[in-house]
Amino acid sequence: MIRNYSPRYSGMVGARQNVFSRRFRVSAGRSLFWKGVGFVAAGGVIVAMFGTLWFGSMIRDGLRDLGSRQVYLVQARNENSGLVQGKKELMARERIEVRASLQSGLYSPSAAQLIGPRF
């Protein structure tokens, strides 16, 4: 296969032709600058993509925890309302009087035992 070397030589016609060198071009500094800018931009895009994925997973986990806590809160409220109702039943005055009279042998006084205030 024949290789094409024509881009390496200048178009100058004469006794002496200059060999085209890529190493010592004037615009090599600009090219390096833009390569650096491209590298930084590509790195920023990659970091932003992973940051977005991480942030999305944190939001998903937070919403999942919020949902499970909401279910737990409903269960706790139902249990609490049952416990409050049970406490009201245990603290009822009639129940306490009946239990106290049975345990200590106390009974309500008869009508003859009641004495009114003396003036």
Given this model, what pLDDT does residue 8 score? Answer: 62
User: What pLDDT digit, counting tens, does each position of 63-110 carry?
Assistant: 999 999 999 999 999 999 999 999 999 999 888 888 888 888 777 778
pTM over 0.75: no
- For residue 88, the model assigns a pLDDT of 92
DSSP for 76-103, written as a single string: HHHHHHHHHHHHHHHT-HHHHHHHHHHH
pLDDT of residue 115: 82
Q: How confident is the model at residue 47 (pLDDT cuts 50, 70, 90)?
A: very high
Residues 6+ apart with CB under 8 A from 108: 101
SS3 state of residue 2: coil
Q: What is the pLDDT of residues 4-40, one digit of tens each?
A: 766 665 555 555 555 555 555 555 567 888 899 999 9
Q: What is the pLDDT of residue 4?
A: 72
pLDDT tens readout for residues 58-76:
999 999 999 999 999 999 9
Q: How far apart are alpha carbons 106 and 90 in whole angstroms?
A: 20
